[in-house]
Structure 1
Amino acid sequence: MGRRSDHSRQDLETLILAAAAALVAEVGLAGFSAREVARRIGYSIGTIHNVFGTTDRLVTAINTRSFGLWAAYLRERLDLAGDADRIAVLVEGYFGFARSHTHWWTAIYDHRLPPDATLPEADQQARGVLTEIVITEVARALHRPVDDGIATLARSLIATVHGHCAFAVSGAWALMGEAAPETAALARVREALAGHIAAG
């Protein structure tokens, strides 16, 4: 493995992030260790701190990367869907990413920044792409332009689907005797959209 002199700072950032994301995919956030990432890439823990500052910033970068992959996952499925039931595709895409990449998905919601830290603007913008996809599709389904009301509705629908998905991933849904969380989530979304249309 190359040493520090063989990699630029950008190279190191890419190398560290790839190894860190792979580790999260293997062991989840609970088993994550920046020291293990350093061992895997053949650098010292100090190098990781020099590049990312703190382990929290590294995990933030991993989660922002996951948001990007998730957005791409949804876009691919929407592109394939064409004019088919795109709302169903969104719900399936939410569950599909969570099931295919459970540790990455869970890490997004398990990680908390320290109280005195804020999410950098670049990370906020990158993560916001996923929500914008949903807002656009909700507006399309309702034949409405995107406005604050549509954005608020879309975020509420995300919360609804997320709750169903989180219960499914954790096993809580099955413990309640339910067998089809994705179907139930889609039904709740359809009800909300129908109610919005009825309300004018």
Structure 2
Amino acid sequence: MIASRGLAGLKTRDLASEIGCANGAVYNLVADVDELILRVGSRTLHRLDDALSAAEGAGEPAPQERLVRIAIAYCDFAAENLQLWRALFEHRMAADKIVPDWSVDDQMRLFRHIYVPLAALFPRRSPEDLGITARSLFSAVHGMVALGLEQKLVAVPLPALRKEIAGLVRAMIDGLIARAPSGREA
């Protein structure tokens, strides 16, 4: 339902009808709509993880190339699963509700795709610094994907978006290497 209608199109009454149960029976499966959306998000994140793992490819590509591959795979996944991907970022829980640990773990697990090649490029950086750089690189790529896939004035054709993302990742890594005190040591 989210894949076809988006997050705004999720109605528990329609869902119950589609699976053949009473509306209230949906809540025998999940505590509330937030959990339902988080469970769908978990499945989406696992599929994204598989796509990123496949993009890393066989063998051991150079760390910079690995980062480029996963950035492009992230873009492709978002384009192919647009409504599910958007739902990951559009859903907001009430301020007093805590995101369950399993959901946070699903999200954080994906950062290994960025963290591992960054650690190879910058072996003397602290885990905290690598984590910040990984999140910054993700944010840059995510911003390009989010704006590039918008169906408005800022839309970018997918082949051009892929090329621009690859250029951004390479430029960011080249800049980080050049800024490091001893090349890859920082």
Number of residues paired by the alignment?
175
- Residue of structure 2 in register with 1:4 after alignment: none
Q: 1:124 aligns with which of 96, 104, 119?
A: 104
* AA matched with 1:161: V
TM-score normalised per structure 2? 0.85
Q: Aligned ranges for residues 30-179 of structure 1 at < 5 Å?
A: 30-80=8-58, 82-83=60-61, 85-140=65-120, 142-144=121-123, 147-172=127-152, 175-176=153-154, 179=157
TM-score normalised per structure 1? 0.80
Unaligned stretches of 5+ residues in structure 2: 181-186
Structure holding more helix per residue:
1
Q: Shift of the alpha carbon at 1:166?
A: 0.4
- Residue of structure 2 in register with 1:10 after alignment: none
Relative contact order (C-alpha < 8 Å, sep 6+): which is higher? 2
Provide the rounded CA distance (Å) in 2 between the counterparts of 1:91 and 1:53: 35
Indicate whether 1:189 and 2:169 are aligned.
yes
What RMSD, in angstroms, separates the aligned Cα atoms of the two structures? 1.9
Indicate whether 1:24 and 2:32 are aligned.
no
- Note the alpha carbon deviations across 1:96-149, whole angstroms, 9 max, x for none: 100111111011111111111111011111221111222112223x15267211
Residues 63 and 164 of structure 1, relative CA distance in 2, 3 Å threshold: same
TM superposition outliers: structure 1 runs of 4+ over 6 Å: none
